[in-house]
């Protein structure tokens, strides 16, 4: 019996009812726990569904650690309920309306491509060439302890378990008891970080996702592609190879990102590379162990194939005496014998493979060969289904994770590199102490002359200066890894705050100093890709010229040729069996590639959301065209944060909004801090978010190739709007006293004292807006409910257009539904504006001591807030409640409890700052955990930090 077709409005109603029902259940469980442990007063303060807090509760309830924890846990329960409901509604929609109805997933994109006239063979020929790489970073945006996150995962799994309709009433009561125990455990664990995490703990956090979550999700991702493929009437044989699927891989910055992070040393980088390799072998060993448990085929029932016998004998000869014990343990199960021998050849302890070439697999390609033997031997005896179900997933895992699990990027600031080179120059007796002040032409002349020679500045390990010593030690760690294991596991050398060509050529000189350059007949070649990171508006505008000059440099050209057009050498191992792409889609797999990273945070911090997004959009178009003219394809690495002001937004909408020419089947993007937990903590949610990314990159790239879109005719108008918005934003942050207003009207001082990440909140410690990282900048405005970087200036821009060119404003209104970029940006502005609260802003503004300053700056903010609201209403033509009922619901569920927490936080800030002003540091330090818990509770309620 087919499921009843349900409309989206019906599904919304089902979802809202489910949220209310599930949250009420969890709240009752939580209250019971509090009563049982002797906290009936706190139990009465747990928000109840449909019952707003009374005026007395709001006025009489003082903030305490217990109250903060109650609210923080309540919001986490609400977040879990909403996440689970969203997953269940997606499943209902798919069951009722088919896979193509869920926007952004495989079914949706395959149906669209088919409607556009693309043949299944054309789509299949491209799939194996698509590259997607999420990169995990440890920016300080996760405010919760790792142990607390583990408790949240356990609770979520129990919530999902409760969905099953097969449980009897007695079994349901047992699940309810499990939930109560989990809630008590969470309560007794505590919520806040009392000690800043170190890099090792951040690495363990990321390793959980790499080793356990992503490896588990992978088979289901592939299965969903196969099912959607079949649903669209495509032939399943086209997906019969493990190499026919998108080339998913993972990267990480944890242990490699040293931009303003003194704790990321060369030793930490070495430990990280070893840890990634060790965990990769553990993953492969686990998968082979599972294979051995399931491939128990007996040679008494099917004859042992010759290819299997020959391969077993080969491995026995390589492994020697220790192999015979394994063979004797399973005398009649040759397939299991072969798997045991493969497991024995894994260097599980991370021993350098090349030190014993006959004992261990030296590269993933060698293990791939043996897995193909296993696969083909099963086919030979007719066990086709077993081969496909058991061996194919292991090949796919090896394809994705290799012997490295994730590639480690090394990021450092251009200023740090400049200081390192200055120290090297001086140590060599060259007059260059003022190198940083040289004009660019003189720098380039010096650097190009140096790069004609393989001679380093120094010999051995002679210390030359702190910056130079650290860079050289780090690069030598990379060089040793290259020598021992090859390029697997190594990403790129990323230069943050890249502003001119010399910033990139300096890295070539430092690479020469450290063994990362190779001498060839034509000249020096860099063994790892050097990647510019363009962050400010000005750098984005200079980007096209900079990239052209870098691509024309002889070392860059030679290095690309040596890497065979790929900045991911390890990925080439696995793509031999994929079919060639038709000429229609260009040379995807073999074209020279230059990776360019673009940052979403600093451009927004400097110029506001609209100007930032437009600058990023235009820079990508211009850079892509410059590179294409030189025969190079640009691979964009999107440095997105966890909030809209730092580049976040729905994945499918983000991909749709990218310029047509820039996505090209290949995307890298960061997954930062809290976003990792929100998107990947739970199996269903992780599968959904990775599918959005994989299907989106594939489907949108193919659509763009099928039908190239010219620049939008209203692009010049948007350029003018970006300029007006930028001026309004800059006028605000440059106005007299604004920094003082920010420091007093937001809890920025609490955030700087918090323990939510191992990195400092400022790059150098300078008390300036320029030195403040984008994360605490956004976090502080979010906590005070301003959300200012995500909307300020937009109202001025559209009001200017409406007043000066009403006809063009009306054209924009008509263009909005069909212009993905404009729709994406304005939807994000609307989200930020809806999450902001003018009354709460005013409450935080009351903390500003100077009355004249307070009124003057707040008037600027509130006037722009009203302008932006009015502009959005005119642009969209209908209310948020009608257009986005889910968001309206989630805001309503949180508003009452958040209002109380905000008012209490303002009171805590007044008292804490007063103690500091009086010099009573002991009392201020005693209060700090309360403030941190307040920050944590509000962040939980808003589902965002920075």
Helix intervals (H) in 232-348: 266-294, 306-319, 321-329, 334-345
Quick check: is 892 catalytic? no
Asked if residues 107 and 652 have their Cβ atoms less than 8 Å apart, the reply is no
Structure-token pair, residue 406: 């994730």
Strands 524-526 and 517-519: antiparallel
Cα distances (angstroms) measured from residue 283 to each of 209, 563, 875: 12, 28, 51
Tokens standing for 15?
């979802």
Q: Closest Cα partner for 609 from 860, 866, 797, 780? A: 797
Q: At what angle do helices 392-401 and 364-380 cross, to 10 degrees?
A: 170
Q: For 600-689, where are the E strands, in sequence order?
A: 632-639, 666-672
Compute the distance between CA of residue 43 and CA of residue 909 in angstroms, rounded to an integer: 26
Distance between CA atoms of residues 335 and 348, nearest Å: 21
Q: Which residue has the tokens 């007043």?
A: 803
Q: Which helix (H) or strand (E) holds 134?
A: strand 131-137
Other C-beta atoms lying within 10 Å of the C-beta of residue 317 = 10
| Cα–Cα distances in angstroms (integers) from residue 74 to residues 67, 554, 619, 718, in the given order | 11, 59, 43, 42
Place of tokens 């990023």: 616
Rounded to the nearest 10°, the torsion over CA 650, 655, 656, 658 is 120
Report the C-alpha gap between 344 and 356 in whole angstroms: 13
CA distances from 771 to 673, 768, 776 (A): 21, 5, 11
**CA dist list (Å): 364 to 346, 358, 392, 429:** 10, 15, 15, 46
Residue 362 vs residues 185, 212, 322, 346, 366: alpha-carbon distances, Å: 45, 24, 19, 9, 7
Catalytic member of 261, 605, 638, 652: 605
Q: Which of 139, 261, 336, 704 is catalytic?
A: 139
The reply to whether 605 belongs to the active site is yes
Indicate the helix (H) or strand (E) that contains 518.
strand 517-519
| CA geometry: angle 316, 318, 323, nearest 5 deg | 35
Which tokens in the block code for residue 296?
């128990």
* Nearby residues of 298 by Cβ (< 8 Å), 6 or more positions away: 332, 333
- Integer Cα distance of 8 and 718 in angstroms: 33
Cβ-contact 828, 728 below 8 angstroms? no
Torsion on CA atoms 769, 771, 775, 778, rounded to nearest 10? 0
Give whole-number Cα distances, 121 to 106, 129, 235, 696, 759, in Å: 16, 14, 9, 19, 48
State the catalytic residues: 139, 605
């Amino acid at each position: 019996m087919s499921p009843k077709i349900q409309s989206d409005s019906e599904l919304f109603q089902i979802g809202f009812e489910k949220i209310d029902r599930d949250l009420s259940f969890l709240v009752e469980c939580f209250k019971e726990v509090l009563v049982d442990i002797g906290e009936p007063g706190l139990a009465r303060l747990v928000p109840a569904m449909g019952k707003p807090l009374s005026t007395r509760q709001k006025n009489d309830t003082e903030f305490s650690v217990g109250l903060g924890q109650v609210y923080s846990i309540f919001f986490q329960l609400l977040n879990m309920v909403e996440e689970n409901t969203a997953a269940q509604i997606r499943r209902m929609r798919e069951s009722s309306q088919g896979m193509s109805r869920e926007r952004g997933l495989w079914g949706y994109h395959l149906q669209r491509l088919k409607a556009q006239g693309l043949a299944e063979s054309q789509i299949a020929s491209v799939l194996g060439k698509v590259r997607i790489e999420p990169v995990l970073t440890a920016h300080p945006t996760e405010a919760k302890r790792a142990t607390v996150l583990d408790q949240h995962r356990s609770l979520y799994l129990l919530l999902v378990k409760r969905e099953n309709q097969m449980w009897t009433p007695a079994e349901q009561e047992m699940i309810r008891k499990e939930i109560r125990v989990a809630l008590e455990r969470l309560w007794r664990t505590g919520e806040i970080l009392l000690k800043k995490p170190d890099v090792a703990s951040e690495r363990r956090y990321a390793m959980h996702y790499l080793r356990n979550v992503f490896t588990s999700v992978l088979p289901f991702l592939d299965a969903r592609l196969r099912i959607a493929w079949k649903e669209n009437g495509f032939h399943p044989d086209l997906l019969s190879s493990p190499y026919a699927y998108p080339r998913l891989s993972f990267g990480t910055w944890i242990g490699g990102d040293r931009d303003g992070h003194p704790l990321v040393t060369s030793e930490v980088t070495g430990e990280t590379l070893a840890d990634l390799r060790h965990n990769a072998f553990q993953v492969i060993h686990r998968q082979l162990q599972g294979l051995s448990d399931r491939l128990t085929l007996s040679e008494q029932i099917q004859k042992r194939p010759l290819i299997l016998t020959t391969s077993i004998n080969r491995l026995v000869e390589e492994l020697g005496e220790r192999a015979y014990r394994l063979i004797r343990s399973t005398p009649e199960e040759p397939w299991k014998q072969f798997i045991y021998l493969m497991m024995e050849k894994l260097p599980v302890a991370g021993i350098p493979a090349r030190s014993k070439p006959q004992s261990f697999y030296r590269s993933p390609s060698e293990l791939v060969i043996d897995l193909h033997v296993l696969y083909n031997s099963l086919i030979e005896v007719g066990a086709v289904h077993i081969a496909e179900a058991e061996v194919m997933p292991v090949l796919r895992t090896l394809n994705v994770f290799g012997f490295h699990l994730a590639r480690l990027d090394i990021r450092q600031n251009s200023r740090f590199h400049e200081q390192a080179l200055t120290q090297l120059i001086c140590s060599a007796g060259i007059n260059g102490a003022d190198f940083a002040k040289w004009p660019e032409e003189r720098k380039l002349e010096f650097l190009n002359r140096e790069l004609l020679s393989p001679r380093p500045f120094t010999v051995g390990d002679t210390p030359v200066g702190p910056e130079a010593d650290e860079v050289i030690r780090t690069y030598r760690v990379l060089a040793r890894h290259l020598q021992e294991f090859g390029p697997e596991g190594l990403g790129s050398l990323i230069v943050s705050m890249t502003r001119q060509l010399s910033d990139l050529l300096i890295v070539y000189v430092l690479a020469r100093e450290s063994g990362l350059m190779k001498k060839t007949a034509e000249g020096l070649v860099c063994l790892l890709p050097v990647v510019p990171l363009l962050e400010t508006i000005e750098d984005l505008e200079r980007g096209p010229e900079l990239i052209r000059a870098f691509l024309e440099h002889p070392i860059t050209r030679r290095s690309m040729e040596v890497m065979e057009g790929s900045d991911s050498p390890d990925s080439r191992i696995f793509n031999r069996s994929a079919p060639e792409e038709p000429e229609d889609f260009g040379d995807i797999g073999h074209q020279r590639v230059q990776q360019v990273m673009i940052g979403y945070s600093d451009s927004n911090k400097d110029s506001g959301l609209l100007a930032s997004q437009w600058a990023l959009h235009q820079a990508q178009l211009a850079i892509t065209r410059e590179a294409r003219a030189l025969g190079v394809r640009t691979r964009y690495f999107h440095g997105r944060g966890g909030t809209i002001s730092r580049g976040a937004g729905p994945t499918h909408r983000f991909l749709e909004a990218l310029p047509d020419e820039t996505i090209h089947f290949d995307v890298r993007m960061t997954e930062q801090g809290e976003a990792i937990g929100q998107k990947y903590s739970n199996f269903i949610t992780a599968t959904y978010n990775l599918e959005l990314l994989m299907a989106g990159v594939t489907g949108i790239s193919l659509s763009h190739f099928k039908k190239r879109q010219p620049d939008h005719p209203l692009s010049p108008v948007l350029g003018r709007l970006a300029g007006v918005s930028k001026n309004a934003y800059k006028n605000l942050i440059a106005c007299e006293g604004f920094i003082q207003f920010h420091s007093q009207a937001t809890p920025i001082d609490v955030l700087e004292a918090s323990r939510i990440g191992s990195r400092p909140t400022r790059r150098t410690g300078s008390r300036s807006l320029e030195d403040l990282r984008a994360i605490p900048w956004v976090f502080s405005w979010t906590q005070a409910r301003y959300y200012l970087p995500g909307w300020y200036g937009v109202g001025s821009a559209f009001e200017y257009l409406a007043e000066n060119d009403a006809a063009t404003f009306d054209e924009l209104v008509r263009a909005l539904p069909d212009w993905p970029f404009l729709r994406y940006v304005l939807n994000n502005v609307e989200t930020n504006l809806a999450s902001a609260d003018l009354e709460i802003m005013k409450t935080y503004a009351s903390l500003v001591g100077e009355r004249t300053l307070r009124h003057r700056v707040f008037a600027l903010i509130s006037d722009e807030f009203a302008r932006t609201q009015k502009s959005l209403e005119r642009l969209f033509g209908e209310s948020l409640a009608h257009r986005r009922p889910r968001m309206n619901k989630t805001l309503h569920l949180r508003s009452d409890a958040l209002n109380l927490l905000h008012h209490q936080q303002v009171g805590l800030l007044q008292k804490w700052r007063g103690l500091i002003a009086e010099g009573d540091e002991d009392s201020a330090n005693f209060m700090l955990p309360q403030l941190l818990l307040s920050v944590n509770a509000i962040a939980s309620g808003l589902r965002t930090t920075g």
